[in-house]
Amino acid sequence: MAESKVRTTASAGKPVGKASGAPKPESRLAMVRRARRINRELAELYPYAHPELDFDNPFQLLVATVLSAQTTDLRVNQTTPALFAKYPSPEDMAAANPAELEEIIRPTGFFRNKAKSLIGLSIALRDEFDGEVPGRLADLVTLPGVGRKTANVVLGNAFGVPGITVDTHFGRLARRFGWTTDEDPVKVEAAVAEIFPKSEWTMLSHRVVFHGRRICHSRKPACGACPIAPLCPSYGEGETDPEKAKKLLKYEMGGQPGQRLRPPADFPGEAAARADAAAHHGEVADLAVAE
């Protein structure tokens, strides 16, 4: 899928990156037009882009997002069923025994700090917001462990309030795409907000993060298998050989499962739970044959 589209798109011209020599200075207008075209291309590539955390309500999304720091969404999705079974509401989590909570969320890493944040934000929700997750950025960022990134995730996906989620993937790609040179997430958010209409902010975040996780990786981006290579000024930072780049693709782009245990119905990848079960079934079958 990705390879065929690269060939079609690349026919319009060479990628504007390292492989094509020093690029000409780009005007602000040209950058904005290119940025919006990248967004349109990503929308075609990932029409199913979505949050990769499993959740049923704003509280679950808030907790899952806090847990997602420094770990994978899959690890969080494997941890939260037991967590929410024991602590289904802010009131329940506010009264949690710290040691018991830490043990449940231990697989996500940094579990002591995360447990402290979860109990703290739950107490704040119970005492200051009547047990409900607030739908305003100004309120969300007052909660322990909740910054602008987490707040925008919750606002955009639980309340339908547009927001730009600047995680490590989004920040990396915003710089590679030439939308900003800033490293500070708040400055990145402000710069990108000036480029795109507000109505696009939430879905733009999903598309860029999807692309960062699947193709435009941190250490070795799959440039040769990237459908938007002709629009990228950083083309050539990664593997440009199409066949070698194809092997770097992750998740559904590489024929593998996504991170959700309960993905949306229109997600083309296999659910992680089914993939794990299939792998386990295969291992059992191999053992039976060996015996």
Q: Which residues are part of the catalytic machinery?
A: 149, 167
Exposed e or buried b for every residue in 124-137, given b needs 16+ CB within 10 A?
bbbeeeeeebbeee
Secondary structure of residue 133 in the 3-state scheme: coil
Angle separating helix axes 185-193 and 148-158, nearest 10 degrees: 40
Distance CA 9, CA 16 (A): 13
- The answer to whether 6 touches 242, Cβ cutoff 8 Å, is yes
Burial class (CB in 10 A: 0-12, 13-18, 19+), 11: exposed
Tokens standing for residue 245: 């780049």
**Overall residue count recorded for the chain in this entry:** 291
Tokens standing for residue 260: 């959700």
3-class SS string, 204-221: HHHHHHHHHHHCCCCCCC
Distance CA 238, CA 222 (A): 6
- Among 263, 283, 287, CA closest to 273: 263
